[in-house]
Amino acid sequence: MEKKWWHSSVVYQIYPRSFQDSNGDGIGDIQGIIQRLSYLADLGIDAIWLSPVYQSPNDDNGYDISDYQAISPEFGTMDDMDELIQKANEYGIRIVMDLVVNHTSDEHSWFIESRKNKDNGYRDYYIWRDGQPNDMPPNELTSIFSGSAWELDKQTNQYYLHLYSKKQPDLNWENPKVRNEIWQMMNFWLDKGIGGFRMDVIDLIGKIPDELITGNGPMLHTYLQEMHQKTFGKLDVLTVGETWGVTTEDAKLYSAPERNELSMVFQFEHIGLDEQPGKPKWDTRPLDFIKLKQVFTKWQLALDGDGWNSLFWNNHDIPRIVSSWGNDSPQYRVVSAKMFATFLHFLKGTPYIYQGEEIGLTNTPISSIEEVNDIESINMYNERMQQGYNKEEIIHAINKKGRDNARRPIPWDESLNGGFSTETPWLALNPNYQDLNVKKDQQNEESIFNYYKKVIHLRKENELIVWGDYKELLPNDPQLFVYERSYQGETWLIIINFYEKPTIYKDDDRKVETIVISNYMDSSKKIDKLELRPFESVVYKLKKSH
């Protein structure tokens, strides 16, 4: 496989609204990111995936875009954006823009035109259908944000499709004019020297709503190949598609280099393992650890040589991993967060760190719907209240799975509003920010932050982490995740105790040359009968056996 910069990179996701406010309006902004570039350079990341900063009425916090080539005033100006790209590049950091082209905002000029009348030149930019008799929508497709995916527009008495909120009408990708507009817009950004695109729900663009096909439609890969050819194909950029229902076979179609589509996709199979199959994400069940290991191993092996994996625990849609599947108590938060870093960052693929993960930020429980900002949680709350669910149960589900958990402002220090803003933030900080903040972690050599720094640095220094073969040991062990990476005659053994309960690992034949990294200061070098403490995770370099 031809080696690209993103194979050996670590990407850091910024949710700009919550990163750093520079002008005292309680909302993070681009100048705030510029102020923190030296922090990110110190952490050692290679690229920033920047969640949307485009003009938007913020029905879905920027994922509803009303102008793809304008910056939202709350985030700054296009000059700020140019400055960010340039200053980040000076630090060797590339900016990967969020590309949200499954849908626009209903306030985008295309949609404003489209809804005016059936003959409008922009009518076919969106998906319009007649309803069924008795005021029924065209079919039973539902929105990911609750309710029907069809909205009746009184002006023309037709329904438009919105797989997300009513204010996020789906674009009609079958229309070549739509595709050309998108290629032009992408080239506008590529000309600015960005490092690539993260593509929002890109698996939906080939939908055939009349046949109830949404994900993975028949034209999907044809469109992506056209995109590749018309936009970034000749450039050395990272492209990562968000693809929720993807199988390993699909992922190869997206990411096998000779197919000329994307660098990699985000697959969510591991993320869904605490959800009940076929039910909304709110209906959870305990995590099945054996299954978790199976999923990781399946993806590691399936894409080997034939594509590329992305590796992540968190993003702006997913609650904080240390709270959901780890242990965020004062006693174990630090080792537990480091365990998750070890688990993921020695696998093959490109790791993504979501802002605050590098200091082990935790979820923020709420007790009433008034505290919630996220449209997905609010819509679900209203729907389930109407359906007669118990209010406490709904709040419990929001605390477990709600997106606000990941979206609270970053606590930079212990000062007012955690140094995020001088004014009241758009969403309250987690009240634990006096104890959990960036400054504290920077000052403590044994912090989660310094552990992430080391892990990132190790990837830079060791090709084994990037290119080594993967092999899982003890797949049926109920609490250990053990795997090897081997490259050019060298083998590393990664042993993870996923749980608080101590356990023992036995390895009779092999000897340790050195400990590469461990989340305890005094991990044992003897692996013939290794006693693992709560969440203990160690990376060993093994002695060569000859």
Task: Give the interface with ligand NOJ as residue ranges (CB under 6 A).
Answer: 60, 63, 100, 164, 200-201, 242, 316-317
Among the listed residues 60, 98, 200, 203, the single catalytic one is: 200
Q: From residue 509, give the alpha-carbon distance in Å to each of 486, 506, 529.
A: 17, 9, 11
Between CA 272 and CA 324 the distance in angstroms is 12
Total Cβ atoms within 10 A of residue 286: 8
How far apart are CB 108 and ligand NOJ at their closest, in Å? 13
φ, ψ dihedrals at 123, nearest 5°: -55, -45
How far apart are CB 200 and ligand NOJ at their closest, in Å? 5
How far apart are CB 230 and ligand NOJ at their closest, in Å? 23
How far apart are CB 170 and ligand NOJ at their closest, in Å? 10
186-189 long-range contacts, Cβ below 8 Å, gap at least 24?
186/99, 186/227, 186/231, 186/232, 187/230, 187/231, 188/69, 189/97
How far apart are CB 57 and ligand NOJ at their closest, in Å? 14
How far apart are CB 376 and ligand NOJ at their closest, in Å? 7
Which of 282, 499 has the CB closer to ligand NOJ?
282
How far apart are CB 196 and ligand NOJ at their closest, in Å? 16
Answer yes or no: 200 catalytic: yes
Between CA 12 and CA 437 the distance in angstroms is 17
Write down the H helix ranges in 191-330: 220-230, 248-255, 289-302, 321-324
Which of 106, 242 has the CB closer to ligand NOJ?
242
Give the HSE-up count for residue 32: Cα atoms under 13 Å, Cβ half-sphere.
28
Total Cβ atoms within 10 A of residue 456: 21
Assess contact for 484 and 504: CB atoms under 8 A.
Answer: no
Enclosing H/E stretch for 473: strand 469-473
Distance of CA 42 to the CA centre of its chain: 22
For the record, the structure tokens of 322 come out as 């240390």
Which of 100, 205 has the CB closer to ligand NOJ?
100
Answer yes or no: 242 catalytic: yes
Helix (H, G, I), strand (E, B) or coil at 159: strand
Distance of CA 248 to the CA centre of its chain: 18
Which of 198, 459 has the CB closer to ligand NOJ?
198
- Rg of the chain over Cα atoms, rounded to whole angstroms, equals 24
CA-nearest of 289, 373, 363, 368 to 321 is 363
Between CA 56 and CA 199 the distance in angstroms is 17
Among the listed residues 21, 59, 226, 242, the single catalytic one is: 242
Which of 167, 293 has the CB closer to ligand NOJ?
167
Between CA 408 and CA 419 the distance in angstroms is 13
How far apart are CB 297 and ligand NOJ at their closest, in Å? 26
Assess contact for 321 and 340: CB atoms under 8 A.
Answer: yes
Instruction: Indicate which residues carry an active-site annotation.
Output: 200, 242
